[in-house]
Structure 1
């Protein structure tokens, strides 16, 4: 059974039970009230009729007066003498099953009542009966019995009951209609949410639920939309990561295969019997160079892997950044001079920072070595720029520069602006990725400014210590 039907039938059953209960209680209450009111009125009428009957003269018109009184009051009346013997009835057929003598017990009760009527309302009897002692009367009558069918009192209750029944059936019909409409109204957003959830589960993450409601259903719709949006974003990220991972493994394979081929070729040449010593030395140097290249490649991969998964990737301590930059500048000065470049240190002052010295040394090595590697002539500059409580460390060169189409992907793993030339220079394609990973672990980032033909500037910022 669908939830709409369950809701509708639940409302119908509960409301019908409520309507029937209220109707039955109302009918019984009204019936009891009317009977109580009728019994009180009956008692008053009995007393009034008794007073009237006791005032009649004992003459030839006595019987006619009693009958006339019974006709006007529309009660069944019987008159008894002082011995309790009935001598007059109206109508006569109403007393065919009634004893002609009053019982001694009843006479004793009437005597004790001192003129107050005795009303008998037996549930097994269809009539309401009253006995009255006339006391001192002007005729032979001493006791009066009046009776009336209870249906007379229930006539109004029956009319009200019919009205209540009609209202009850009308209410039940209205409840059925309203319940199905209400259940449809309640179930409609549930069905829409269920359909949307199934679509999302099938992978349709572009599904949007347009449910303009300010209740829990609206909140749930917003949550599903947010979930779909989050899943969509996560799915895009996973696709991107999957593509990058596939490209990463392809690049690793490519990067490793080339030096291995070179090493294999060098070893084959070394196996030649008549190989000259100079050539043998050349092939040995080539093989060693490629082995070092592979070692650097896996060292960089190891560094990146630690950045991705190791929370203790860096070990911070208070250091003087000046010392690191000076040592890096001195280490690369011979390489720059050999290439005919000028390596300059500018504005290098004592500057205390909280960082990992080994990792920052690796960052400086990568940036300075790249600048020297790709600069054919001119200057490579390393320096500081102090800005409030932050030091900006930069490496600037006069190299060929980098095109704007490469800047967004420059720090991706194995990305090269010129793959053939970069590989010829012995790079692994991971240097800048390592730099970015180390600086991200320091809550910093590597930035680049470059124009083709005018050189490049790589820089990062670190908060200084007092």
Structure 2
């Protein structure tokens, strides 16, 4: 049964592949190295044994002791004279089968290797070699062929298995460890808690994954904080006009003055505007499909919506640019930026410009208002943060415009920043990457 964890499966796959490679390596070494070497070695020994048998048979009886001593010293062979009882044995190595085959081929008759033990306990192997109708028994001690290739292979396989298991476990842990930490951190996010930042180290892919996850964790925390602030701000901003409406209704029962009706209507309009702003966020985030559009046409439609308000919007046409974007989201961003520019632009004309460079298009809404202090340029993107301390929508706005701009831009992979404008005022710029954009350079 396969392990259930990714660590177990990775370790198992690495171990199995390593085992298979070890077995394949041993088989290749055996077939192409050990077997040919065994054939050559047994062929040489068989030739030596047959030559010894012929020399023994041709040597006079008086000189055979000298021959016995010489072949023992030079070749570690002996001639058993007279022959004694021998017995068969279990052949654990193919060496003896190869030797029997070689002896039989050279002598022309079947030759069998048998064994006996000498007086000192050493095991000897004997072959009855036929020579001129007679049998000469030639043998060699076990120490002469004291080779243990299978033991060597067993040791190689055992050590290789141990190294494979340790290496596969370490490698699997090294690869799966960051993923395990990522899984644990994901569970913490699912429980509404922010996990500790993951170490952005290791292979490039894992480091990139950790970096993106940390960024996602920060965004989730920021979204949760914005949601809390948004709900608290909405509650506060709705409670204030509701209290005024309640007070006005109480006064209307005693003094039905026309100005009280107007105050109630203004409060209702303010509540409607706040609710509409909140609905805009959900509607713009729900838009899924990208549409190819002309940037100039989009900016012109935004400017046309403010023509009846008396605000002066000026545009400077750049190169032709067609974008593949979510149109409602981009249009909502520019509408909110123009709203801010009109509200805080001190009645001066509003300029809309864009330029294309380095694979992005920068679209800027520029006003001539008092500007934003540098230390507050990020703070104004928080929900309900107002530079104007007044809670009145007529002077300080709802505090949601720039927050909506930042969240919509982030959701679409765009960036928004506020810059000081040369000569005074503020430049609110949206940067849209051009990876999916159809760009036509002006000619």
Query: In the alignment, does 2:368 pair up with 1:380?
Result: no
Provide the rounded CA distance (Å) in 1 between the counterparts of 2:286 and 2:167: 51
Say whether the 8 Å CA contact 1:439–1:445 is kept in structure 2.
Answer: yes
Residue 251 of structure 1 aligns with which residue?
Answer: 233
Q: Is the 8 A contact 1:394 1:457 kept in 2?
A: yes
1:292 partnered with 2:272: no
Q: 1:430 aligns with which of 400, 412, 423?
A: 400
Provide the secondary structure at the position in 2 that maps to 1:381. Answer: coil
Aligned partners of 1:391 and 1:201: how far apart in 2? 39
Q: Cα distance 1:68–1:391, how it changes in 2: closer, same or farther (>3 A)? A: closer
CA contact (8 A) 2:319 2:355 kept: no
Aligned to 1:302: 279
Q: 1:428 to 1:465 in 2, by over 3 A?
A: farther
Q: Structure 1, residues 48-75: CA drift from partner, whole Å, max 9, x if none?
A: 56xxxxxxxxxxxxxxxx644666666x
- Cα distance in 2 between the residues matched to 1:223 and 1:292: 53
Corresponding residue number in structure 2 for 1:149: 137
| CA shift for structure 1 position 380 | 2.3
**In terms of mean alpha carbon deviation, does 345-354 or 360-369 score higher?**
345-354
Q: Assess if the C-alpha contact under 8 Å between 2:245 and 2:264 holds in 1.
A: yes
Counterpart of 1:409 in structure 2 is 379
Q: Is the CA contact 2:351–2:365 (under 8 Å) kept in the aligned structure 1?
A: yes
Gaps of 5+ in 1: 50-65, 75-90, 96-117, 132-144, 212-220, 334-344, 373-378
Instruction: Provide the secondary structure at the position in 2 that maps to 1:416.
Output: coil
| Aligned CA-pair RMSD | 5.6
Give the conservation status (yes or no) of the 8 Å contact 2:418–2:429.
yes
Q: Deviations over 1:236-257 (max 9, x none)?
A: 1111111111111221222222
Residues 1:371 and 2:344 are matched in the alignment: yes
Question: What is the Cα deviation at residue 286 of structure 1?
Answer: 1.4
CA change 1:426–1:292 in 2 (3 A) is farther
What's the CA shift string for 1:155-212, capped at 9, x where partnerless?
Answer: 4xx33321x13x765775576557645654554343344445444433365454876x
Distance 1:405 1:422, change over 3 A: farther
Per-residue CA shift, 1:255-300, capped at 9, x if unaligned?
A: 2222222223222333x2xx334x2x22211111111112212222
Distance verdict in 2 for CA 1:230–1:41, change over 3 Å: same
Give the secondary-structure state (helix, strand or coil) at the position aligned to 2:209. Answer: helix
Deviation at 1:302, TM superposition (A): 2.7
Once residues 401 and 209 of structure 2 are traced to their aligned partners in structure 1, the CA distance between those partners, rounded to angstroms, is 37
Deviates more, 1:298-307 or 1:13-22: 13-22
TM-score by length of structure 2 reads: 0.58
Residues 171 and 210 of structure 1: is their aligned pair in 2 closer, same or farther, counting only changes over 3 Å?
farther
SS at match of 1:420: coil
Question: After the TM superposition, which residues 24-173 of structure 1 pair with which residues of structure 2 at under 5 Å, given as runs?
Answer: 30-31=41-42, 33-39=44-50, 42=53, 67-68=61-62, 120-123=109-112, 127-131=128-132, 145-151=133-139, 154-155=140-141, 158-162=142-146, 164-165=147-148, 169=151
SS in 1 for 2:381: coil
The 1:176/1:425 distance shift into structure 2, 3 A limit, reads same
2:310 matches 1:332: yes
The answer as to whether partners of 2:342 and 2:350 remain within 8 angstroms in 1 is no
User: 1:110 maps to what in 2?
Assistant: none
Counterpart Cα distance in 1 of 2:232 and 2:153: 76
Measured at CA, do residues 371 and 44 of structure 1 come closer, stay the same or move farther in structure 2, by a change above 3 Å?
same
1:55 counterpart residue number: none
Size of the aligned set, in residue pairs, is 357
What is the deviation of 1:316? 4.9
**Matching residue of 1:457:** 426
Given the two structures, how large is their TM-score scaled by the length of structure 1?
Answer: 0.56
Q: Distance in 2 between matches of 1:92 and 1:433?
A: 110
Per-residue CA deviations over 1:305-359 (Å, capped at 9, x if unaligned) read: 33323146999566597897698476337xxxxxxxxxxx597789998798986
Aligned to 1:282: 259
Computing the radius of gyration from Cα coordinates, the structure with the larger value is 1
Which whole-Å CA distance do the structure 2 matches of 1:330 and 1:92 have between them? 131
Deviates more, 1:251-260 or 1:24-33: 24-33
Conserved 8 A contact 1:306-1:313: no
Judged with a 3 Å threshold, the aligned counterparts in structure 2 of structure 1 residues 329 and 123 are, in CA distance, closer, same or farther, namely closer
